[in-house]
Amino acid sequence: MVGVLASIAYAAAAPPITPAGAEVARAQALRGGLQPGASVLWLVLGRIAVGFPLGDPLTHLRALSIAVAAGFAALWSWRSATDSRLAGAGALTSLEIAGIAAGVLTLAVSRSFFWAATTAGPVAAGALVAIAPLVLAERGWRSPSDSRLGLWLAAVAGACTCAPLAAAAIGWPAAVLVWARALRRREHWATQAPIVFGIAAIGSVIGLARGAAPIAAGDFARHLFLVPVWRAVANVRVADLARAAAELADQVGVLGLLVAAAGLSRLTAGARVATLWPLAAGLVLRAALGANADGTIGIIVAVAAVALPLAAGTVRLAERLGRAAVPAAAAIGVIVVVWPLLAR
């Protein structure tokens, strides 16, 4: 339901595609190679969209970006809804639903995410690839004996081999941590995970190499070991981090950040870690990589990380009002969502 509503809203609000942007989008979909922000998911689906015989190929690419962004919003809604403190009794209450809606809507209308969704380009797909291992890693940490979940995490982490640099830099540490814990606990899936990871990584490499743009071995090795990320992070200045933090505050709104800070104490320790890691990593990557596609994925992940504590903060502030809690949560949510829009 969340995905359908997001798709309709983005399709209705999408700005016109500029001719220059259209040409770049078509080239990104067809050329392949190690482009900033491009992932195997985008290359495969983008080529299908461009080659579809009916209609405008650029319209198909935009529809693809909108669909991927809607999937991102739906996945993040599911992540928020299954958090143990927001669904402690096994079913969401009306108050918790209002809080989750506030958090996800704040993400959906943020400037970077809206741009990624409504532009015929690979950024939305790259952002989805970035948060998928985070969501699976959080679930895997809570259920280390779940073999299916662990193997899915290994497959998604393998797909990050030829994903945007930001996706691998954010997703791999969480995936490795969950795998190492499962290996120490002697979980059955931990011994199978490297094989699944390797198969997914090889498939990702083949999908990337099928593009028309040649990939030099040295460039691929640097991409695989995230060399550009480490170099950029090593040169990050305090002023760059301050600008990234200011951009986050601008996109979420100062009020949204205050509500999110109030909600951190309501989360479990694991949910706090799963929030603070992508928040910090996304801001650092935005500061290090700048305004290119990989840097944009970083700020999108940082904004998404605020959604869960914002939902918890909305619930925490409203639940003190007794019978008026649900209307109060809805009012807080509306103010938080609209605030950054009015400030633009």
The pLDDT tens digits of the residues spanning 213-248 come to 667 777 778 877 888 888 888 888 888 899 999 999
Q: What is the pTM of this model?
A: 0.88
pLDDT tens track for 296-333:
999 999 999 998 899 888 888 888 777 788 888 888 88
Domain boundaries, the chain: 2-342
d(CA 19, CA 120): 11
**Which of 305, 270, 301 lies closest to 137 in space, CA to CA?**
270
* Residue 14: both structure tokens together: 């999408």
pLDDT tens track for 163-202:
888 888 998 999 999 999 999 998 889 999 999 999 998 8
pLDDT for 20? 62
